[in-house]
Structure 1
Amino acid sequence: MSRFTLPSAMFFQENRLPLKVLLRDPEIPFSLHSHDFYELVVVVSGTGTHLLSKGNRHLQEGMVFFIKPGTYHGYADIENLVLYNVLIGEQALYRNLTDLSDVAGFQDVFLQPNGEIPLVRLNCHQLSEIIALVGAIKKESQHQDYNNGAGTLAYAKLLQLLILISRFHSSRKSGAFQHDQRLEHIISYMEQNLDRSLSLEELVQYSNMSSSTLNRQFKLSTGWSPVDFHIHRRIAYASTLLLTTSLSIERISEKTGFSDANYFARQFRSHMQMSPRQYKQLWTTPKE
């Protein structure tokens, strides 16, 4: 398989903060390559294989990893894979490296030896927070020429992003969040019912767990209650419909089981930090 290197000049303009966010929706197969800048990857949805010199690994929603300059990697076996790529020049990363290295989890994720790529796994609540922050970095980093502080604000949000990921990784290592295999078939049931609401009673009956056990295990594994997790997945489905169909917001509200469009809008804003209309405008506006 051929290998090549992507240079910074392809992505960063001179005299600007070397920071750029790319939404890869969908990601495409990509042969082994490296770059002379850092790359933080957030897996938003879908699945695929991450190609690495030291072996491959499966990718799925909620995974985050950090690629150092000179490290070869690529993507294959892609199925609806959506990624955020946060491209970071060495100058931007090293500006506050001394302070960042004191943050719990930072060294584990961002300062591993060359060739080592630790994998951070986020629960749904954490992923939602990270996606909103990356979107804000993308917006600010695209307007650095306007002399309105956008570059400084983008950099401040980048530092916040790195610290949050470090904290999330540290909390998982300490056992604050746990994965329960029993929840997988319940989540599958939820995914099959994104067009309606599911009550706790229905989920308890389907899972054959007590309500207290189901709530506890969902909180430990995802950070959400079962009902809130299902709402989150319906909002994610609504987000896809907003970008891939011409349906009205009212119709999308109905298709995702929100009979009241105002309630849908409130839930959407709570989970996505913006209204449905703002979300659609943000991601359907022609990009550079």
Structure 2
Amino acid sequence: MESEPMYLRYFTSDRIFPFFIQYGHHNDNHKKHYHADFYELMIVLDGTAKQQVNHQTYYIKRGDVFVFGEGVSHDFEDAQDLHICNIMFQPSALLDRYHDLGEIPGYHDLFIIEPYLSQNDKYQHYLKLQFDQFDEVTELIRKMHEEYHASRPGRKSMLMALFQMLVTYLSRCYGEQESREPGKASMQIALSVSCMEQNFRDEFTVEQLAEMSYVSERHFLRQFSEVYHTTPHQYLMRLRLEHARGLLENEKNGLSIADIAYDSGFQSNSYFSRVFRRAYGMTPMEYRKDKSSW
């Protein structure tokens, strides 16, 4: 059976808020499909089924959590009173500049690396919630579902706050799960990336990052560039620049441009200005003035 494309517009007509949540109950087969322009977070609430992801088969049950990226074909059959929650979203919904999700290794592996690898490889790992974790997650999605289908003011802000809580909690749970089964390659790479996020002011060589990941330099560079679409050095520069932008936008912090450069990991004010201008088309001082005029 050929896999059919699915688009987020099939579920929601809101182009500004790319998000949808629903509960599903199945006692039959589900057609094979892939997502053309969105990710899906699927949480199994009860029942069982045989799920196929690309050409890999899994028997799913209560507490299993999957993140399906774009282009990943999946379906299920032999569903026995299967209750699930589906959350459809575009990854940009997670990428608020001020979030610190990137500091959690489980976030990188569960929401970025594994969904990417599963496009061309076996879906290697997914999250299996413990009993107490399952209760926490079901309460969060209950609140999200209620908020999504209500018409209260501030609905979108509340949903994004709850979604961030859910993603953060799942990422932590995944990290705990993988710590009990050390040695998984994608998780080792996730650990090195989260280390960069937490210590973006420091310098990292490819050799150091590869050693942290227990892979060769060549393998680390190839997988990093495939998943993040950039080099480790450029990734580190982006983290520093985003931190600098936050400081520049808060003119009441009393920091000079030189202070901001140093606090963001740049040892030279002139180098900071060159890199910033190349990235944003204006100097740090021009950026600060531009933001203060808003």
Q: TM-score, structure 1 length as denominator?
A: 0.56
- Please say if 1:127 is aligned against 2:128: no
Structure 1: where are the runs of 5+ without partners?
177-288
Q: What amino acid sits opposite 1:94 in the alignment? A: L
Q: 1:123 to 1:96 in 2, by over 3 A?
A: farther
Question: Is residue 49 of structure 2 the alignment partner of residue 48 of structure 1?
Answer: yes
The residue that corresponds to 1:86 in the other structure is 87
* Cα RMSD, aligned residues only: 2.1
Matched, 1:105 2:111: no
Match of 1:175 among 146, 171, 180: 180
Whole-Å Cα distance in 2 between the matches of residues 31 and 142 of structure 1? 26
Separation in 2 of the partners of 1:27 and 1:107? 33
On the 8 A contact 2:24/2:84 being kept in 1, the answer is: yes
Q: How far apart are 1:71 and its partner, in Å?
A: 1.0
Which residue is 1:156 aligned to?
161
User: Post-superposition shift, 1:97?
Assistant: 8.9
**Gap change, CA 1:73 and 1:15, over 3 Å in 2:** closer
Number of equivalenced pairs:
174
Counterpart CA distance in 2 for 1:88 and 1:97 is 19
C-alpha contact (below 8 Å) 1:27/1:82 kept by paired residues: no
Shift of 1:158: 0.4
Aligned to 1:248: none
Q: Paired residue for 1:33?
A: 33
Contact 1:20 1:138 in 2 (8 A): no
Q: C-alpha offsets along residues 72-116 of structure 1, whole Å, 9 cap, x if unaligned?
A: 100111111111001112331333596322213111111113425
Tell me: CA distance 1:45–1:171, structure 2 relative to 1, closer, same or farther (3 Å).
same
SS in structure 1 at match of 2:71 = coil
Q: Is the 8 A contact 2:20 2:88 kept in 1?
A: yes
Is 2:51–2:75's contact at 8 Å kept on the other side of the alignment?
yes
Residue matched to 2:18? 18
1:62 alignment partner in structure 2: 63
Larger Rg: 2
Q: Distance in 1 between the 2:53 and 2:129 partners? A: 21
> For residues 39 and 27 of structure 1, what CA distance do their matches in structure 2 show?
21
Aligned-pair identity (%): 22
d(CA) in 2 for partners of 1:91 and 1:107? 14
Distance in 2, Cα, partners of 1:79 & 1:150: 34
Deviation digits for residues 98-147 of structure 1 (CA, Å, limit 9, x no counterpart): 6322213111111113425431011111111101101111111223x55x
Partner of 1:9: 9
Relative to the length of structure 2, the TM-score reads 0.55
- CA distance in structure 2 between the partners assigned to 1:56 and 1:104 by the alignment: 26
Deviations 1:15-61 (A, max 9, x none): 54221111012364112201121100101111111112131111011
- Cα 1:87–1:105 shift into 2, 3 Å: same
Q: Which residue in 2 is equivalent to 1:254? A: none
CA change 1:56–1:140 in 2 (3 A) is: same
Q: Which consecutive aligned stretches of 4+ in structure 1 deviate over 4 angstroms post-superposition?
A: none
Query: 2 CA distance for matches of 1:48 and 1:96?
Result: 38
Q: CA, structure 1 residues 59+96, in 2 after alignment: closer, same or farther (shift >3 Å)?
A: farther
- After superposition, the C-alpha distances for 1:258-278 in whole angstroms (9 at most, x for unaligned) are xxxxxxxxxxxxxxxxxxxxx
TM-aligned CA deviation for residue 70 of structure 1: 1.4
Q: Give the alignment of 1:263-282 within 5 angstroms.
A: none
Partners of 2:27 and 2:4 in 1: CA distance: 18
Q: Which of 128, 132, 136 is equivalent to 2:143? A: 136
